[in-house]
Amino acid sequence: MPNKEVKTETETADQKMDELLRRKQELELKKLAREVEQMETEDAHRADASAKAEAELKAGRDSAAARQKVCTHLKGGIGVDGFHGKGNSSNYAVIKHTYPWGETRVSCQRCGKEWRPGDPDYQQALNFPTDNTSSSSSIWVGLDPERVAELQHQNR
């Protein structure tokens, strides 16, 4: 029966097509699953890196704060002790710098602490005896004159 033959061939072709489509779908699902997995891995790595950076930043802040807390801000001290903030000179290891807008800040060369106008111990820091030369920057190319005048006014 030729008719039956044709029908069978058509059915076989349909089945083949179905099978191919099914496999294609399977592959696409696998590919999708792999992409999702990859994205999740990348997200996890990003979160890890971000958490690590945050922790390092915090550790840095903590150690700076700890260093500043124990620092005598004095020169002297024997060897490494001096650099660990156990200076015992009568001179302070500070630099007094006056900015173009008239603000003078005091910073410790040992621990990096900075005193600015308004800080509770600012006056005290300003009066720290030191044999360091005070500095000032009279040229400030990044600021326009109006802004400098404004800052000078604020700090008067």
* Chain residues that interact with Zn ion, rule: CB under 5 A: 71, 73, 108, 110-111, 113
Tell me the C-alpha to C-alpha distance, in Å, between residue 47 and each of 37, 55, 79, 80, 152. 15, 12, 42, 38, 44
Nearest approach, Cβ of 99 to Zn ion (angstroms)? 20
Q: Which is nearer to Zn ion, 106 or 111 (CB)?
A: 111
Q: Which is nearer to Zn ion, 104 or 110 (CB)?
A: 110
Nearest approach, Cβ of 125 to Zn ion (angstroms)? 10
Q: Which is nearer to Zn ion, 95 or 143 (CB)?
A: 95
Question: CB-hemisphere CA count at 13 Å for 4?
Answer: 1
Q: What are the φ and ψ backbone dihedral angles of 118, each rounded to 5 degrees? A: 105, -25
Q: Edge-to-edge, what's the strand order for the sheet holding 104-108? A: 114-115, 104-108, 94-98, 135-136
Nearest approach, Cβ of 95 to Zn ion (angstroms)? 11
Nearest approach, Cβ of 105 to Zn ion (angstroms)? 14
Q: Which is nearer to Zn ion, 92 or 104 (CB)?
A: 92
